[in-house]
Structures are given as C-alpha cells and as structure tokens.
Structure 1
C-alpha cells in the first residue's frame, strides 16, 4: 500500500531538494575566484559550470529512471556516497581539470531531487498534485537561488574551497535525516535495467506533449543559465562588484521562486495552455529589461524576479502535464523532460560565455531574448498537442 504524503514529509522533500540541488550552483558566483586560483580565462572557467550541468543531465538519464525499478532508499545510499566523495575532491582540487571532473560527479549525483517530484505526484491525489509539485519545486528553486547568495559570501570571505567543504558536511547530515524520515517506496517494475532504459525512447516517441514540454523547458533554462553564468562578469566589469553581490542577486530570484506554490495551485484550476503562454511572455519581457540594464542595478533586479517567476511557472506547468499521463512511469517521463531541461542549461552556459566574450552583455541579452521568443513560437504553433 502506498503511504499518504504528510505535510511534514512534503516539506522535508522540498527542503532536501533545495539543499541538494544547491550543489550544482555554488560554483557560479565563484567562477572569478576559481579563475584567479588557476590562472585561466573566463571562458575556460565557465567549463566548471558546464561540467556540473552535464553531470546533472547524465545523472537524470542513468539514475532517475531507477525510481521506477528500485527502492528510493537504495538509490539514496549509492547517490550520497558518490556525492560526498565528489564534493571533497572538488575542495582539494589542484587544477582546473580536476575541478571540472569533480564538478561532473557533483552534478551527476545532485539529480536525486528529481526523484522527489514524481514521488510527491505519486503520493497525492489528482486534486492536490499541482500543490505538491509546486511545494517541492519551490524548495528546489529556492535552493538554486539561495546557493548563489551563500557561495558568493563564503567565497569572498573564506575562499571558494571552503564552500565545498561546507557542502560536504551538510550532505552528510541530510543523508542521515532522509534515511530516517523519507517513506520507503518499492516500485512494481520487474524488467531489466536495459529494458527500463529502452522504454525511455518509447515514451519520448509516443508522447508529443512530453517532447514539447522538454523543448520548452530546455529553451527556458538555457536562457536562465546564460544569465547566471555571465552575471558575475557583468557585476565586475560594469559595477566593480565581487562574488558576494553577484550571489546576492539570488535573493531577488527567490521572490519569483516563492510563487511556486501559487503556480502549483493555479495548475489545478487554470488552463495549462494559458499558463505556458503567460510564462513565455514573462521570459521575453525579462530579457527585454536585461538588455537595457547593463548599468542599472534596479533593472537587473526586476529582470531577475521576472525571469525566475516565468521559468518557475513554465517548469511546474510542464511537469504537471507530463505527470498527468503514464502514472506507472513518472520517473522515466520526468527523466526525459529533465534531461532536455539540463541539456538546454548546459547549452545556455556555453552560448552565454561565448556571447559575453564576443559581444558583452548585449549579446547575452539578445541570446536570452531569442531563446524566450522561441518558446513562444513553439507554443503557439503546437499548443493543441501540449496537453
């Protein structure tokens, strides 16, 4: 019998999702400090962020489908052991290459919060599903944004290595709590791992709504990743600020992230096509504001609030759509969606670094604007296949 999801466990999952996914983003406000340590260029050090996001995509692809086959507690043990070792390896790295490799495995193991989202969907009924997804996603997105605030401050005051040591201790404590409190789920899937992975292609091929959700998510997250990867460079060049101020912009993004619960509830009441349309418009507006804000802190703050709120609304709506179908394969459809999402993030990180190096902030703004307009075009062309 599937246990019912209590509010205490739901909020534990939300907090845990935020703390774990934060491992992906500690490096972004620290890129300048890391570049100084190893004597490399801005473009070279951006590979640390790129490697972390690629690792996350691989973790989603090869670990998360196991949520439909293995006990979540078994996955938890393996994942946290590798995660803790990778964080220690990052802290003691003596070259950019070793940090890039460690960052890949940090990303690889930080995919586990994406098991919490389908778990929340499984343990709640249809009427409360949007709310549950929204609460977990709220924690996850606050973790993404809050991580930049914390790492920016710690990096500037204590050095970037201390951030990785602190994250290691935090993950050890969190593992103990999750092992104790998280409900144990034993899925029914009896096939081999090979058949499990092969079924990903089946769902991708037969579900147009899933393909569209993955494309929308990839385009949206590509834009957000381009922004956060290059913000630290803009802060230094235009305003003379260091990693603390760059990371502090996460505070304003949290304002958008706090809308997750509201967006989740709206998903239970409002047309999902409308929610996607409004989300895409918010993203386009945010990049228009960014394009005029290379020397305006207020404009950047407003843009951060709008871009995080827009992506949050898009992301939660996408996930609610894909979870409404194929309840026996929620981890697998979420894997397909999230792999696309983070491949988009990795692409955005790379293109953002190139745009910054060649064209500066205006190039980054045009890139983000083009990606957001692409979401709008895709949605308007294929909205009948969205749900």
Structure 2
C-alpha cells in the first residue's frame, strides 16, 4: 500500500485547507447576529426567527454524527468537495429565501454539510509524518477557530452596510471556489471497506475499547460548555444597564479570541513533543483564571475583555491537546473518532449555552460565572482520571503515550 504524500511542507495546500475549515465552520454561525434583520425582513415574530439558530445547531450535530464517520469508508478527495458543494447550495438557498421556512431549509442544509471541516482535519493527520500531527492540526484549527470568531462580526457588518442576505451569497461563492481548488490538490489516502451500518457498529466498539477517547471527549465537552456560557450571555450582559453597548460593539468584542485561536499551531508543536498532559492542565488553569476576570467583568469591561481572551486561549490549548491524542489512538478510524469527539464536544456546548441562560435568570452574572468555573473543574477531574489511567496503554490499539 502506497503511503500518502506528506503535506506538512505544502504551505499553499495547508492554507487552502485552513481557509476551508474556517469558511465551513463559520457558515453555521451567520444567523446569530442577524436575528433582528431577518425578523424585520420576513415580518414574523422574533421567537420564530430565533429557531434558525436551533436548526443550525441541530443539523450540525446530525452531520457530525451521521456524515463525518463516512470519511473512513470513502475517497476523501471527492467526498470533501462534495460536502462543500452541498453546503454552498444551502448557503444559496438562504441567500434567495423568500420566506422563513426556506431560510430554515437552507440553514439545515448548511449545518448538515459544513461538517466538511471535520473530515478535512482527520485527512490531514493521515497525510503527514506522525511527529508533525499536532503542528498540522493546530494550523487547521487556527483557521477553523478564526472562521468561527469572524463569522458573526462579518455577518453583522455586511448586514449593516448592505443586506443580511449578501453574506450567504458571498460565502456560497467562496465555498464553491474552495471546493474546486481542493478537489485537485487534496492527497489521496486509503479508505476502509465497510458498510454504513458497520460504521456505527464500529463506533460502538470504539466507545467500549478506547477509554481514553471517552475521557478526552468528556474533557472537551466540559471545557466547551464553560466557553459556551459566554455565547448565550454576552449580549445579555453587555446590553444590560451596566454597559448598554450597541450590537456592533457586542459583536466586535469576541474578536479578542482570535489571539487564542492563532495559538493552536504553536500548541500543536508542543503536543508533538509529548507535552499534552502539561498543556491540558495549563489550558484548564487558564480557563479557571479567566472566570475570575470574567466575574470582575460584571462591572469592568476591560476585565471582561481580558477574561474573554484568556478563556479562548485556554480552550484552544485543551482542544488542540485532545485532538493530538485522539488521532493517535486508532489510525484506521480517524473520522469515526473525530465524529465521537466532536459530537460530545458540541453536546457540551449546547448544554453550556442552556446552563448559561438558566444561571443568568436565576442568579445573574455571578451565578453564570459560578457555573462556568464548576464546568472547568469538572474537566480537570476527567483530566486527572486520564492522567492516572495513562501509566499504561488503555487498549492494544493505542499507539500514543503522553
């Protein structure tokens, strides 16, 4: 069997893949700052428009669970551009929507197929030398996280300057261009012959056999839950009587997280050198400290901004360490492993968002911060279990020792 070429030195391809990750991931978040504009355009209750965010989240979760695992059984060089093509179709449906149900349809299609980014990352790990895995993951994750952070700001800016539909049209065009460019440049890697039902049977076996996958998925889920509290409360806090900031500034503040997102490639290099345990604990510590500054941010905007930047940095450190570990567990099941990890990751995010709103309404900002720090501590508990369990390999398939 021929090994795929090493793409770690192919900088133009890595940049294309990173931009594709950011564009695909960010496309699922355009609707969040556009709720008011969409409500005015279709003249429907805002509560109905808010369901667009739910459709985006649920469809993305379904894509992670049902589509990403297929990456292990098909030719990824054709599969990834195909997913991006369908995501672009969904974006165009949103751009030309004549009513709210049509927007829901387009949003659901975008969410379902924008998981192309979660197939790209496992592909990259199969086309680099093992000692470069973390560095390449970190680079692609930088693109993905920057795309997430920029998506809401760009959507709001384009909506204010032109029209809310334009961001969907432009994104659809760029997605098609990237799909075309990647189709001829992505490296071919061997797929594994299995049926669709066998894919899910094997995922069940992975959960039974690979304890470390479960532990790292729980760590990821809890830290993303802690971060997601801010997603659901940032507008509540910053538009309250304390700050009364306009929507434009509320959308700009999260851009401080770009610095954390850009750190992932350097974190990946350290992870390649075997420092995943140190990085995990460092990331949890940074997130814990961030909640102290976020708590002070209830009355100090500077403290809030500092805390927001720190929590993004901590999340990036933990997430990159997790991915460096899980992709080394079973080289023959990377897409399925990523599907399990990312599904639990986004379940954590959804729960964190809901807990944030609940805490806000039952105890204000102080209660939200308390829930946030408790979620970080829960992640630290599972990190400790992972550390104690890693004195010996957890299964005959595990190939990586921290």
Contact 2:118 2:338 in 1 (8 A): yes
More helix by share: 1
Contact 2:16 2:178 in 1 (8 A): no
Distance 1:35 1:367 in 2: 32
Q: Name the SS of the counterpart of 2:77 in structure 1.
A: helix
Q: Which moved more, 1:139-148 or 1:94-103?
A: 94-103
Distance 1:270 1:92 in 2: 49
Residue 194 of structure 1 is matched in structure 2 by 197
1:204 and 2:222 matched: no
RMSD: 2.3
Equivalent pairs counted in the alignment come to: 385
Q: Name the SS of the counterpart of 1:145 in structure 2.
A: helix
Contact 1:55 1:104 in 2 (8 A): yes
Question: Equivalences for 1:1-387 in 2 at 5 Å?
Answer: 1=2, 2-5=4-7, 6-34=10-38, 40=45, 46-93=50-97, 98-187=102-191, 189-237=192-240, 238-385=242-389
Higher relative contact order (CA 8 A, sep 6+): 1
CA apart distance, 1:312:
0.6
Q: Name the SS of the counterpart of 2:165 in structure 1.
A: helix
TM-score (structure 2 length as normaliser): 0.88
CA apart distance, 1:350:
2.8
Q: Which moved more, 1:137-146 or 1:84-93?
A: 84-93
Distance 2:97 2:243 in 1: 30
Contact 1:19 1:140 in 2 (8 A): yes
Contact 1:153 1:243 in 2 (8 A): no
Contact 1:46 1:349 in 2 (8 A): no
CA apart distance, 1:116:
1.8
Q: Which moved more, 1:135-144 or 1:368-377?
A: 368-377
Task: For residues 302-351 of structure 1, give each alpha carbon's deviation from its aligned partner in whole angstroms, at most 9, with x where no partner exists.
Answer: 11211111111111111111111211111111111111111112222333
> CA, structure 1 residues 170+357, in 2 after alignment: closer, same or farther (shift >3 Å)?
farther
Q: Which moved more, 1:361-370 or 1:144-153?
A: 361-370
Distance 2:151 2:132 in 1: 29
> CA, structure 1 residues 349+41, in 2 after alignment: closer, same or farther (shift >3 Å)?
farther
Distance 1:184 1:281 in 2: 40
Contact 2:229 2:356 in 1 (8 A): yes
Give the gaps of 5 or more residues in structure 1.
none
Q: Name the SS of the counterpart of 1:181 in structure 2.
A: coil
Distance 1:209 1:36 in 2: 48
Flag the structure with larger Rg.
2
Distance 1:365 1:95 in 2: 39
Q: Name the SS of the counterpart of 1:182 in structure 2.
A: coil
CA apart distance, 1:282:
1.2
> CA, structure 1 residues 241+170, in 2 after alignment: closer, same or farther (shift >3 Å)?
farther
CA apart distance, 1:275:
1.4
Q: Which moved more, 1:238-247 or 1:91-100?
A: 91-100
> CA, structure 1 residues 71+23, in 2 after alignment: closer, same or farther (shift >3 Å)?
same
> CA, structure 1 residues 297+354, in 2 after alignment: closer, same or farther (shift >3 Å)?
same
Task: For residues 113-163 of structure 1, give each alpha carbon's deviation from its aligned partner in whole angstroms, at most 9, with x where no partner exists.
Answer: 111211121111121111111111111111111212212312333343332
> CA, structure 1 residues 243+176, in 2 after alignment: closer, same or farther (shift >3 Å)?
farther
